[in-house]
Amino acid sequence: MSSNSYSFFNDVNSYVDKAAKFTKHPPGLIEQIKQCNCVLHVSFPLRVKKGKFEVIEAYRVHHSHHKAPVKGGIRYSMMVNEDEVKALAALMSYKCALVNVPFGGAKGGVKIDPSKYTVEQLERITRRFTSELIKRNSIGPAVDVPAPDYGTGPREMAWIADTYMAFNAGQINALGCVTGKPLSQHGIRGRTEATGRGVYFGIRETVDGYEDMQKLGLYPGLEDKRVIIQGFGNVGYYAALNLQQNGATIIGIAEYDGVIFNPDGIDVQAVHQHRIDTGSILQCEGCKTIKNGHDLLEYECDILVPAALENQITRTNAPKIKAKIIAEAANGPITAEAENILLKRGVFIIPDLYLNAGGVTVSYFEWLKNISRVSFGKINKRYNELNNEMMVSAIEDASDTNLTYKQRTQLIKGAGEIELVDSGLEGVMVNAFREISEIKKERNVGDLRTAAFVNSLEKIAVSYLELGVFP
């Protein structure tokens, strides 16, 4: 297939077909699961100057209504088109099923380069797109709950929430119409870093697997792993930071304008600060800068983390990749054709639908917080601390020992929102990894992506079968 006729949605469906062979479902059910249930394409005008207008194109796709609400981010990028949004919406269904988050899959996209617009214009675009969704009953806490994605963040989510609330005064759960909001707008602690942190948990679980590491000729654990990251946005930055804080060495980071490299290790926090100061990761002290060096993906390393966009590892560069593990922090960075090449070459792929599911997992926590209108830990934190205090004192009395101040404080501390969100996220990522590893082993599936799709298909199929839609 030439790169012109590349279809991301076809690639996702080819993974479903491959996985379906390991399941036993009635004919037609897999076909029903694969289709997008609803595709919305809107265009609206934006006044850019006095008398000058632009037409903005935007999409929202509901892939699967087997659960409500549907959930998925909204991206702002010039690459947005119907095929891309359909593929990303489908991935959301499989992702949510995999991590047992009770949503159907959706995705949205606005075809703009956000760097070309002023903040005021971006706000108008966001509010107008939200009102297009409201008009069609395509947003709401029980219907469809957007979130940040490539090119969007808490600021855009705040505009979406505010627009929705203006049209739905008095709706008590209105704040649950979108997640990834700023904290002041009833967002949740830990959401911004959630996807990157989930990526770290997923990689940690993988590299802790003795058998898989042995096959790759690697030692278990993160300590001796050399990592290359493509994309230093929200996901790439937090993934790199967490990996580095837990022992890995980040040797290269690629961005759209070039690459930085240091075989002895890059200080991720310093690069982040350098970008805040200069607007680019390039020329960061202590690193070699290679302008437009787009072949970083092909450098020698243990773990390659594509954390930017889809269609980055294709049949052209797949034979040249030297990484032993590819960790898909982005959605769809490896094409299906490239995957075949990589699997044959023995590369271990940690698939997107598992690895970047941390974002939607913490979005789920935020949605729960919004519809229950209480933050996690608020009611029970102090009660737990008093209980812990009594227990620690009783143990001290009974054993006639005195703990140090530090030990006492650590044992007594109750969990607040960030502790609950983070441990909840870790639990979800660890559990999902166990589920897919088990499927891979027991059904002799071969690769982790297929195992992940088998897991999701089984869960979505149950929803349809128990509805009686299929006999």
How far apart CA 267 and CA 241 sit, in angstroms, is: 9
Tokens at residue 406, please? 């530090």
Q: Which helix (H) or strand (E) holds 33?
A: helix 29-34
Q: Which helix (H) or strand (E) holds 376?
A: none
Nearer to ligand GLU, 147 or 350 (CB): 147
Q: Please select the residue that binds ligand GLU; options are 138, 179, 242, 312, rule is CB under 6 A.
A: 179
The length of the chain, given as a count of residues: 471
Q: Please select the residue that binds ligand GLU; options are 73, 202, 231, 306, rule is CB under 6 A.
A: 73
Tokens at residue 336, please? 């299906």
Q: Please select the residue that binds ligand GLU; options are 104, 306, 351, 359, rule is CB under 6 A.
A: 359
**Interface segment toward ligand GLU; rule CB under 6 A; list 70-78, 208-216, 410-418, 430-438:** 70-78
Nearer to ligand GLU, 356 or 370 (CB): 356
Tokens at residue 174, please? 């209105």
Tokens at residue 437, please? 């590893």
Q: Please select the residue that binds ligand GLU; options are 144, 149, 302, 422, rule is CB under 6 A.
A: 149
Is the Cα torsion angle 380, 385, 390, 396 positive or negative in sign?
Answer: positive
In the complex, least distance from residue 438 CB atom to ligand GLU, rounded to whole angstroms: 23
How far apart CA 164 and CA 321 sit, in angstroms, is: 46
Q: How far apart are the first and last CA of the chain?
A: 37
- Residue 250 engages ligand GLU in binding (rule: CB under 6 A): no
Q: Please select the residue that binds ligand GLU; options are 8, 34, 72, 117, rule is CB under 6 A.
A: 72
- Residue 108 engages ligand GLU in binding (rule: CB under 6 A): no
- Residue 64 engages ligand GLU in binding (rule: CB under 6 A): no
In the complex, least distance from residue 179 CB atom to ligand GLU, rounded to whole angstroms: 5
How far apart CA 347 and CA 16 sit, in angstroms, is: 21
Can 215 be counted among the known catalytic residues?
no
- Taking CB under 6 A as the rule, which mask of x and - marks residues 327-346 in contact with ligand GLU? ----x---------------
3-state SS class at 286: coil
In the complex, least distance from residue 442 CB atom to ligand GLU, rounded to whole angstroms: 27
Q: Please select the residue that binds ligand GLU; options are 77, 192, 244, 363, rule is CB under 6 A.
A: 363
How far apart CA 217 and CA 275 sit, in angstroms, is: 36
Residue 410's contacts (CB-CB under 8 Å, 6 or more residues apart) are: none
In the complex, least distance from residue 318 CB atom to ligand GLU, rounded to whole angstroms: 23
Q: Are 262 and 283 in contact (CB under 8 A)?
A: no
**Interface segment toward ligand GLU; rule CB under 6 A; list 223-231, 354-362, 372-380, 406-414:** 354-362
How far apart CA 160 and CA 418 sit, in angstroms, is: 24
**Interface segment toward ligand GLU; rule CB under 6 A; list 66-74, 214-222, 381-389, 463-471:** 66-74
How far apart CA 430 and CA 36 sit, in angstroms, is: 29
Q: Which of 18, 34, 86, 107 is catalytic?
A: 107
Using CB under 6 A, list all residues that contact ligand GLU.
71-73, 147, 149, 179, 331, 356, 359-360, 363
Active-site residue set: 107
